[in-house]
Amino acid sequence: MIVLAVCNHKGGSGKTTSTINVAAALGLSGFRTLVIDLDPQGFLTRMVGLPEPPEANSSLVLFDPQVRLAEVPVQPRKNFDVLPASSTLSKIMRRLNQPTDVLWVKEALEQAPLPYDAVLFDTAAAITVFSLNALVASRHVLIPVMPEYQPVLGAEQTFQTVMMVRDKLNPTLNLPFFLFTMVDARKRNHHAYRRYLRQRYGDQVMSSIIRTSTTLSVTHNDGTTVFDHEPHGRGARDYANATDELLRRIAPERMDRAVSMLSREGGRGPWKSITHLG
């Protein structure tokens, strides 16, 4: 099972948008995908059209040793399922102050097999016990980053946090990938920051980018994604290409099976029709 944390300590870099659309692309490629909202503010929960959930049906259950994750009802969206966030996460954060409190989510995932091929965590734009739990539970990390000063600074701080978790808490955690979002080719500073990160972090910076897009800039709170609104538009192409590249880097054997399956089914979904388009 692919377990991926989507993080950036700086807000406004397209973190939640990336989580939703990567999850949708995975779902369209045949991956049974679960998205877990670990942000106490619940931005992802609201963006996919879900109300404040009962605590027993929220990501709070990950911090209750009496509850098995496999038995908790999730909210189905069109191409993925969601375990939404409860605002009560903010309250319990104050009592999660022991060193072992970074292990809750990892242990919850290991309790019993889940019926998913991929689990994605959406995290808050800060270092919290919840974001640390996501990193300790994950094998892979995606850092969406807008190529401007503050988001790049936040992305580098996130990279350092990932390296600390990898060194001290989760040796199975792989080096994170940077994904440029909201890229405007007309801006010189965007080119400069893209060069800077590529020179400093090399292959950890993904070749795919997410360009500015009218479709991506419009917020839809009904559970739909860019693949529903403009499946052959710039935003859908970019997220399909980014997810394609991500899979080829972290799970090439799974990607080959997904492409083969979609080809046999006549090319439904983004992969056959728009992957690798510029």
Structure tokens at 173: 């955690």
pLDDT at 51: 92
> What is the pLDDT of the chain when averaged over all its residues?
88
28 against 266, higher pLDDT: 28
Query: At residue 11, what is the residue type?
Result: G
| Region 198-208 average pLDDT | 96
Domain 2-274, CATH number (from 3.40.1350.10, 3.30.70.1560, 3.40.50.300, 3.30.559.10): 3.40.50.300
| Region 194-217 average pLDDT | 92
pLDDT at 273: 36
| Region 18-35 average pLDDT | 95
User: Is residue 254 scored above 80 in pLDDT?
Assistant: no
Q: Provide the residue ranges of all domains of the chain, joining segments of one domain with +.
A: 2-274
Assess contact for 242 and 22: CB atoms under 8 A.
Answer: yes
Instruction: Name the band, by pLDDT with cuts 50, 70 and 90, for residue 220.
Output: low
pLDDT at 38: 96
Q: Any idea which of 120-129, 155-164, 179-188, 267-276 has the lowest mean pLDDT?
A: 267-276
Place of tokens 């009904």: 222
230/214 Cα distance (integer angstroms): 10
